[in-house]
Amino acid sequence: MVSGSCPVCGTGVRPDEAFCEQCGHDLSVAVTPPTPCTACGSAGVGPDGYCENCGMLQPSGRDHVEIVLETSAAVSDRGLRHSRNEDAMALLTAGAGTVVAVVCDGVSSSPRPDEASQAAADIAAVTIAKRLAEGDDAESATREGVRLAADTVAASAHPGEDSPACTYVSAVVAPRQVTVGWVGDSRAYWLGAHSALLTVDDATPGTHMLTAWLGADAGEVVPHVRTFTTDGPGVVLLCSDGLWNYYPEPEALAAPALNDPPLTAARRLVRMAIEAGGHDNITVAVVPFGQGERDSATVAFPKERSD
């Protein structure tokens, strides 16, 4: 007497059968049904995350991510137009009063950009924190973080495929000093009484065509590294172009970043980008910095070092 069917091939099976006579499936093992494509409903989603029917890249568990430390926060969101979040972030404490933040934006035209950005953010943040703990200065630690991030992304290329790629920006926010490092067009801002953009995009002027990035096809990666001090409080903001495309001027970012706790501020900035169109992934890290009266804050830059 047939009591059911094999969950793999659909052949009828009897109650006393342990294996399907047609395909050999162990009937005691449950089969998880395939997750249908979010675009066309097909069950043919390959192991690479692409639907074999319509080609849509499926969403991942990174569609909306939040990281919260005692004094800082970061939020990353898929936005409204992309099928997957290809941004990544990391946020760590590195001793008393010091925070390490990293934001990376996967290059969508490269394979597995989400993997590249996450690998770069993770290894850079851990490396910077480790080097600081070992006594390195923030600029040296930042350069080492970028070097290992670049090596990690370059090594992730599979034979016969184009290189995964991402942009990079980091900040070491210490009690009286901030060091930023970047490759590409993810940005760092100082937001306070004298708000300023701290980075210069590695891109052809007036376009989003990158002139520097992390990846096996990037050539020699030479990060920009800059340290500054301030005599008043404010916020160090790192973000991907999913935010600054809509709000490139620091003054537009200052009010939401300065008037709320870090997590609320990061969520609000992400929401601003989504409400403005959300055409790209959006990642924001908010790290408060400095002491004293906000209306007396100034920013002093030394000569930029990029060697």
pLDDT tens digits along 195-220: 999 999 999 988 889 999 999 999 99
- DSSP classification of residue 33: P
Q: How is residue 298 written in tokens?
A: 């100034």
- Cα of first residue to Cα of last residue in the chain, in angstroms, is 78
What dihedral do alpha carbons 246, 250, 254, 257 form, nearest 10°? 60
Single pTM value for the model: 0.79
> What Cα–Cα distance (Å) separates residue 188 from each residue in 33, 88, 171, 283?
44, 15, 8, 12
The CATH number corresponding to 64-300 among 3.60.40.10, 3.40.50.10880, 1.10.30.50, 1.10.287.110 equals 3.60.40.10
Q: Read out DSSP for 76-106?
A: EE-TTT-SS--EEEEEEE-STT-EEEEEEEB
Contacts of 45 (CB under 8 A, 6+ apart): 34, 35, 36, 37, 51, 52, 58
Tally the residues of the chain: 307
pLDDT tens, N- to C-terminus, the chain (307 residues):
556 777 766 778 777 777 777 777 776 666 556 667 655 777 777 766 667 776 655 656 789 999 999 999 999 999 999 889 999 999 999 988 899 999 999 999 999 999 999 999 999 999 999 999 999 999 999 999 999 999 999 999 999 888 999 999 999 999 889 999 999 999 999 999 889 999 999 999 888 899 999 999 999 999 999 999 876 799 999 999 999 999 999 999 999 999 899 999 999 999 999 999 999 999 999 999 975 444 444 555 544 444 4
Q: How is residue 224 written in tokens?
A: 């920009």
What are the start-end ranges of the H helices in the chain? Answer: 113-133, 138-155, 241-244, 250-258, 262-275
Domain residue spans in the chain?
Answer: 64-300
Q: Comparing C-alpha atoms, which of 62, 92, 90, 67 is closest to residue 77?
A: 62
Compute φ and ψ for 89, nearest 5 degrees: -150, 160
Distance CA 66, CA 10 (A): 43
